[in-house]
Copies of this chain bind each other. A is one copy, B any other.
Amino acid sequence: MLPDQQILRIPGPTPIPPRVQRAMSQPMIGHRGDEAKELLEDITPKLKPVFGTEEEVLVLAGSGTAGLETAVVNTVKPGDEVLVIVTGAFGDRFAKICDAYEIRYHRLDVPWGEAVHSEKVAHLLQQHPGISAVFCTYCETSTGVLNPVADIAKAVRQYSNALVIVDGVSAVGGAETKMDEWGVDVVVTGSQKALMLPAGLTFIAASKRAWKAMEENNRSRFYFDLRKYRDNLEKNSTPFTPAVSLLYGLQEVLKLLEEEGLEEVYRRHQLMMKMTRAAFQALDIPLFTADSDASPTVTAVKPADFDPEMLRKAVKEDFGLTLAGGQQHLKGQIFRIGHMGYCSPADVLQTISLLEIGLTKIGKSIELGKGVQAAQEIYVNQEGQK
Check A368 against B377 for contact (C-beta < 8 Å): yes
Judged by a CB distance under 8 angstroms, whether A110 is at the interface is: no
CB distance from A267 to the nearest CB of B (A): 12
Interface string of A147-189 (1 = CB under 8 A from B): 0000000000000000000000000000000000000000000
Judged by a CB distance under 8 angstroms, whether A234 is at the interface is: no
Judged by a CB distance under 8 angstroms, whether A376 is at the interface is: yes
Q: Which B residue sits closest to A261, measured CB to CB? A: B3
Check B5 against A346 for contact (C-beta < 8 Å): yes
Sample of 10 more A-B contacts, CB < 8 Å, known A2-B344, A368-B380: A3-B259, A349-B350, A350-B350, A353-B353, A357-B376, A357-B379, A360-B380, A368-B376, A369-B370, A369-B372
CB distance from A221 to the nearest CB of B (A): 38
Which of A17-25, A96-104, A125-133 has 4 or more CB atoms under 8 Å from chain B? A17-25
A332-381 interface with B by 8 A CB criterion? 342-347, 349-350, 353-354, 356-357, 360-361, 367-370, 372-374, 376-377, 379-380
Residues on the B chain within 8 Å of A376, using CB: 353, 356-357, 360, 368-369
Check B346 against A350 for contact (C-beta < 8 Å): yes
Judged by a CB distance under 8 angstroms, whether A256 is at the interface is: yes
Judged by a CB distance under 8 angstroms, whether A305 is at the interface is: no
Interface string of A215-245 (1 = CB under 8 A from B): 0000000000000000000000000000000
Check B344 against A353 for contact (C-beta < 8 Å): no
Bin the interface of chain A by size: 35 or more
Residues on the B chain within 8 Å of A345, using CB: 319
Seen from chain A, the residues whose Cβ lies within 8 Å of a Cβ on chain B are: 1-7, 17-20, 25, 256, 259-260, 268, 318-321, 342-347, 349-350, 353-354, 356-357, 360-361, 367-370, 372-374, 376-377, 379-380, 383
Residues on the B chain within 8 Å of A268, using CB: 2
Most chain B beta carbons < 10 A, residue from A20, A368, A370, A380: A368
Residues on the B chain within 8 Å of A379, using CB: 357
Residues on the B chain within 8 Å of A19, using CB: 4
Given A353-B353, A368-B373, the answer on whether A4 and B342 have CB atoms closer than 8 Å is: yes
Residues on the B chain within 8 Å of A260, using CB: 2-3
